[in-house]
Structures are given as C-alpha cells and as structure tokens.
Structure 1
Amino acid sequence: MCSHFESVRDRQILKSHFRLDDIPEGGKWDMWPGYLGPFVRRHEFADVGDEAVPEREALLGSFGLVPHWATDTKIARQTYNARTETVASKPSFRDAWKKAHHCIIPADAIYEPDWRSGKAVPTRISRSDGQPMGIAGLWSWWKSPKGEVLHSFTMLTINADQHPLMNQFHKPNDEKRMVVVLPEHRYDDWLNADSQQSADFLHLYPAEALKTDVAPSKIRSLLVD
C-alpha cells in the first residue's frame, strides 16, 4: 500500500503533462496521509458547453479520502488507499465510487519498503522514461463544522502478487499491492468514465516501464511500512 509519494514538483511539467490551464498554489510535494497536494479531475463545469472552460482542473486535496459523513479529518490516516476489490462496498469509498468521482493523482514517484534482504529498504519507484505518473484515484469533499469545504482523494490499488517488480515490496507474507498507474492516452477516458466502466481501467502497469532507486537518506529515515 502506498502511504508516501512525491507530488510533481515542477509546476510547468505538471501543467503540460496533465494539460492544465492553472494549478493551485500551496500544498506539499513530499506527500503523506493528511497532507494537502494537487489532484486532477474533470472540470466542474465541463458540461456547460462553454469553450472557455477547460476539460480538466487541478485542486488541492487531502491525501486520504474524507467522506461527507465524517465527523473530522482523522479518517484520512486510514483512507489514503482504496482496494479495488472492496471499494464499491466500503463505507468510506462507496459513494465516490458510485458517483464515479474519478481523479488522477500526479506523482513523480511512490515509495515502498523492499524486504528481500530481511529488513525494510525504503525504495523510490518512478517511471523509467522520467515522465510523471498519473495514478487513478477517487475524490470527495467534506464540510467542516465551521462550513469550510475540504477536498480529498485516495489512490486505487490492485493485487500485484504476480507483478515482476511490485511483488518485491512489503513483508514476505503480506499481499503485494500496487497503485493503478494510467497511461497518458487514457487520462480523459478515466476522468469521463461512469461507474459501470471504472473496472476497465484497473490494470497492472508494465514492470519494464518502472524503475527503482534506494530512497535518499532523509526519506529513508521517514518511510514506514
């Protein structure tokens, strides 16, 4: 499960790769559950027929989905990943799944612990071509008791027991998982898909299209399993 990732740090790359007109100010690039970072969704007014309205928009959201019924934001510590096998039935995610609140989480890299040596070795995983990852997710919004609106998102994960690269991570007896990385040509398809089409996008990303590096020392001291 991915609890730590790098958001896309270069704002120009973020705009060009994800075809965004504007990007929100603020947020973090070194992301952990509860931190605010950018996510991409279909523009709220994309259906009004105004050519001036872009197809996509980027918003700041909490990493960890906060459903509308939550009493506070602490739930984000448990909802940063959504298992695709149970996302339609889990109370935290089922509303966003049913409404097809699809989003894309821009990432330069994700971090996972490699246990093959017998102890956790924090590892940075990125695309081998140097391009950002577009991770499939779900978004939601939550209104605080003071009336403030918070957007949030979660990453969708699938079983990776048979994936040649991602089956190296986490403890030996743990199920292997990986986030759903979308190919660029399917970004709009994902953002526009309805709930009946959602399952069509839940595929393992090719191992040869990913690369790994030992995490920098300052990251290794923070990464948790």
Structure 2
Amino acid sequence: MCSHYLALKERELFERSFGARLATGAFKEDMWPKYEGVFVRRPPEHDAGDEAVPDVEAATGRWGLISALTRTPNTKLSTFNARSETAATSFTFGNAWRRGQHCIIPAEAIFEPDWRSGKAVPTKFTRADGKPIGVAGLWDRWRSPEGEIVESYTMLTINADDHQLFRDYHQAGKEKRMVVILPEGSYNDWLTCGAARTREFLNPYPHDMLAATSM
C-alpha cells in the first residue's frame, strides 16, 4: 500500500513520458493522501467528436477517490489506494471501475516502510533505469450539492506476498501489497481499454527493474 510518493514535476520529462501537456499550476511534489496531485487520463469529452480534445490529458485532483455516487463524502475514509480484488464491487471504487475510468499517476518515486528491523524505515522505490513510474489508477468526478466539481483519483494495489522485492516490506504477519506499476508500452492501452479488460493490466512489476533505497 502506498501512502506517499514524489510527483513528477519536470515538464519536458512528464510530457515525453506520458504524452500529456502539463499545465502551469501549483501542485505538491511531496504527495500524501488528500493532497491535490496530477493524474493522466483520457479526457471525458474524448468521444464527443470535438477534434480539439486531446487523446490524453493531465488533470488535477484529490489523491483519495470520492465516488460520483456518494452523497456526502466521508473525509476520514482512506481511499488513496484501491484493492484490485474488491474494487469492482466496492461502493467507493465500483463506479469508476465499471465505467473504465482508468488513469496513470506519474511519479518519480514511491515510498513504503521496511519493518525488517522491527521499526518502520522509510524506503524509496524508483525504476532501476531512472525513468518515471506510471502507477495504474482510477479516477472519478463528484458534484457537491452546491454544484462544485471535485476530481479525485486512487492507486490500484495487488497482493505482493510472492514478489521478490515487495514481500520484504510492511509489518510481519500482514499481507504484503504493492501498487500496480505499468510498463510504459501499455500506457495507452490502459487508458483506452474498457472495464472488461481492467484485470489484464494488474500485474506485479518485475523486481529487478526496481531499486529500493532506505531513507
């Protein structure tokens, strides 16, 4: 489970890696749940027939998904990660899953705690080749009773009990989890595929293509 990551703020690298224009604006680089962050998606208006609508866009939203179906958001609920095994039937994540509202969260690094010493040691995970990480996620759009539009997103997670790297993290006796890191060649397919194909992309990233550094 990831509750901390470094957002990718280098504009040229962002646009080259994810094919979306990074708009000028303030957003945090050191990301924690409920912060405003940037995610990449296929624009909701993509199928409206407007040639001015790009194939992909960088949107800004809350890290911690709020379902479009909710009446009053529970701000204490942890929705920054979504268990892929149950997301489809979850009230919080089910609407985004069924609608195929896939997104990618660009990151320089993600962080997980290393408990092997008996204490939580923050550990930074990056791609071994130094390229940005693209985390698979879901997004949704909630309208408040006053008409305010709130965009939000979550990271999808999978079991990591057998992963040769992530199995060593999190507390002993608890299930090991990891976010879904997408191969860069699958970015477009992930953003454009329907809900029926979602699970095809929920695979562990090869351990030897990641690097872990204790902080």
TM-score by length of 1: 0.90
1:41 match: 41
CA distance in 1, matches of 2:207, 2:75: 34
- Counterparts of 1:1-225 in structure 2, within 5 Å, are 1-23=1-23, 25-68=25-68, 69-72=70-73, 74-75=75-76, 77-215=77-215
The CA deviation string for residues 11-62 of structure 1, in whole angstroms up to 9 with x for no partner, is 2211111111343512211111100010000123333455543210011010
* Contact in 2 for aligned 1:7/1:31 (Cα 8 Å): yes
SS of equivalent residue, structure 2 residue 195: coil
Residue 143 of structure 2 aligns with an amino acid whose one-letter code is K
Secondary structure (helix, strand or coil) at the match of 2:92 reads coil
Q: 1:58 to 1:162 in 2, by over 3 A?
A: same
Amino acid at match of 1:181: I
Specify the SS of the correspondent of 1:108. Answer: strand
SS of the aligned residue for 1:197 comes to: helix
Unaligned runs of 5+ in 1: 216-225
- Give the 3 Å change call, closer, same or farther, for CA 121–94 of structure 1 in structure 2: same
* Aligned residue pair count: 214
Cα offset for 1:10?
A: 1.2
1:141-170 Cα distance to aligned partner (Å, 9 max, x none): 112343221100000000000000001111
TM-score by length of 2: 0.94
**Structure 1: which amino acid aligns with 2:61?**
G
Between the aligned residues of both structures, percent identity stands at: 49
Cα distance in 1 between the residues matched to 2:24 and 2:102: 19
Q: CA deviation at 1:212?
A: 0.9
Distance 2:181 2:23 in 1: 21
User: Cα RMSD between the aligned structures?
Assistant: 1.4
Q: Which residue type is aligned with residue 200 of structure 1?
A: E
- Unpaired stretches in structure 2, ≥5 consecutive residues: none
Q: Answer yes or no: is the 8 Å Cα contact 1:24–1:59 preserved in 2.
A: no
Give the deviation of 1:70 after TM superposition.
4.3
Could you tell me how far 1:9 is from its partner in structure 2?
A: 2.3
Structure 1 counterpart of 2:83, one-letter code: R
For residues 70 and 122 of structure 1, do their structure 2 counterparts lie closer, same or farther at Cα, with a shift above 3 Å needed? farther
Amino acid at match of 1:84: S
